[in-house]
Structure 1
Amino acid sequence: MSIKQCRVNNRKQNNRIILNVCCLLLSIFMMGCQSTTRPDWYSNIAGNDIDYIYAVGDGRSLSSAKKSALSQINEQLWTQVSSSSAYIEQFKQVNDNQFSHQSAENRINTQSAEMIFTGIEFLQSAQDDAGFFVQARIKRENIKNQLKADLAAIEVRAQMILQQKAHQDLLIWWLANRTVDHLFRQYQVKVGVLSALDVTLVNKMTYLPQLATEVEKVRSSLLIRIVSDHRDRISIGVLQKQLALEGIATIEQTKPQITHTIIMKSNYRQSIVGDAFITTKFTDLITNNKNGKTLSKNEIISNANSLTNYKVSKDGAERHFSERMVEMGIWQSLGFSNI
């Protein structure tokens, strides 16, 4: 093939490449310039309606467009909350059985506090090449009624939890309800919105503040005795520290105020493999109530090796036990798996 023919072929090949690139760029440009035709009602949202809250939403699918509209309803509600002088956040402070109030709506994350309401009407929908559009509304009265019912349900739940205390072991009851704060968060969210809509509808709570007080009182009354072998000093120290982090007092002596006992039984097995001194520690943890009834039990296996002697490997096995307890968490370590 001559040099001239090669040049001609190269020129044709380059032209084809340029043509393909131009087609690709043109298609991308056309896609980018694809018009989104929104319906007229999408831009004309009814505002300041005394009976309804209106919202619109869009998305790739009809479902996502509806979710977008629901989010808009929540945003409108939280806008009213933030601008309402009637709104005060009520939060837990156990002090003389009273609730403290403070103006701090920024404590609630509006995205994480998004609520789901019933009775939402989807009035219109449309679709174009880009996706879907919907218009929705909900009666303000529906929101008020649902929030009032939700707040009443929180009170009923708090009352039931208080009643259960008389029929349960105190440690079990406290473990099940120590995160009572989640009820307060639910209350804060709902009372905030309801206050913005109509502050006269917010009723004073009775059982929820009582529950907060009782949870704290029970925690303060717990005193756990730890019974163990003198060889487990490191393990005992970690157990005491983990319980202290939960606000639970511990003791090793006998006192009338003791409410529970944790028995730590350890079995050390030692062996030599090559030059290594290996210690495996089998630890049984048994939690009993004041009457000696077993509430939970668990076994933790830990091990370590040393090239020096058994004492070093034994200390290492205890440290491994401590690491496992911290990793598992104190209550799972003790066998309270359902807490």
Structure 2
Amino acid sequence: MSALNQQLWTEVKSKGLSRNIVNDINGREHYQQLNDFSVNTKTSAVVLNGVVFSKAQQVGKNFYVEAVVNKSNIAAQLLADIESYNQQAQFELDSLSQMDSLVWWLKNADVTTLERNMASRLSMLAALSPEKQTSKNLIPQLKAKVAEVHSGIKVAIAAMPNDLRMKKLVTAHFTEFNIQVVDGSVNNFSHKLILDTDWRKNYISDMYISTVQVNLILKNQKGSVVSSNEIIANANSVTSYERANEGASRRFSAELKEQDFWKALGL
């Protein structure tokens, strides 16, 4: 079975290293060149169905069998896999009109596995039965749509003046995912993230303590709530409330990272 898989589809990885060494011996230069090369191969992870064991023999404690797989059965299985991947891609494409664009993008941002599986089946089918090769492949269309939707996501962040430090920290998280953060005063955004905060201050044992309760509310362009979540952060300082506020803001940013940014937004 492994040998059959290897004939149908093999991935090859290679690497090479060349080194030139110069030695000076009694005023004469001697050159030596070393070349190191390695090649790794692996077969595609495909389980073939319809195996028939035509022969079996026992030699001592070992059993030897001859396995036969019908060529048409393999082709049918590959075609079924290809159809399944296309159906999955079509389902995601059709669901876009019924889902929020950001939620849809998060669900489909990484199509690498689906793309790799489809490529292996198409290549195996082409090698096995060129006449049964199918030109239908919706994965590139899905991948292109994911990129298109991502480019259209523009987030405006609404925050009070005393929350600008947290707004800047949230902006940095969006930037990590190449999400545009735009000016909310102009209606050119696809989503608006509202930082609804409640600051509390306490002075205990010569310590300035600041606690902030942040309600994160994400809305779409129509004003409908997409997700929401609450984060509470606090910090203290021996010098002032301002320093305690800075610490609480940094703690808020750390919470976003620890909870996973998107989960922290309630997505």
Residues 1:328 and 2:259 are matched in the alignment: yes
**Is the alpha carbon distance of 1:227 and 1:72 closer, same or farther for their aligned partners in structure 2, counting shifts above 3 Å?**
same
SS at 1:110's partner residue?
strand
Q: Take 1:218 and 1:274, find their aligned partners in 2: how far apart are those partners?
A: 53
Equivalent of 1:245 in 176, 192, 198 = 176
Q: Please tell me whether Structure 1 or Structure 2 has the larger radius of gyration of its CA atoms.
A: 1
Give unpaired runs (5+ residues) of structure 2: 13-39
Residues 1:236 and 2:170 are matched in the alignment: no
Which residues of 2 match residues 1-339 of structure 1 at below 5 A?
55=1, 71=2, 73-79=4-10, 110=42, 113-123=44-54, 124=56, 126=58, 134-205=65-136, 207-336=138-267
**Is the alpha carbon distance of 1:272 and 1:150 closer, same or farther for their aligned partners in structure 2, counting shifts above 3 Å?**
same
Q: Take 1:297 and 1:126, find their aligned partners in 2: how far apart are those partners?
A: 65
Question: Which amino acid is 1:166 matched to?
Answer: S
Contact 1:227 1:252 in 2 (8 A): no
Query: In the alignment, which residue of structure 1 is the partner of 2:26?
Result: none
TM-score (norm 2): 0.79
TM-score (norm 1): 0.63
Q: Take 2:143 and 2:224, find their aligned partners in 1: how far apart are those partners?
A: 27
**Is the alpha carbon distance of 1:76 and 1:319 closer, same or farther for their aligned partners in structure 2, counting shifts above 3 Å?**
same
Q: Take 2:152 and 2:218, find their aligned partners in 1: how far apart are those partners?
A: 17
Contact 2:197 2:215 in 1 (8 A): yes
Q: Deviations over 1:177-225 (max 9, x none)?
A: 2222332121122122222223343322353322222211111111111
Deviation at 1:302, TM superposition (A): 1.6
Tell which has more relative contact order, 1 or 2 (C-alpha 8 A, sep 6+): 1
Deviation at 1:314, TM superposition (A): 1.1
Q: Take 1:125 and 1:254, find their aligned partners in 2: how far apart are those partners?
A: 79
Contact 2:200 2:211 in 1 (8 A): yes
Higher fraction of helix: 1
| Identity of matched residues, % | 30
Aligned CA RMSD, in angstroms, stands at: 2.5
Aligned residues: 239
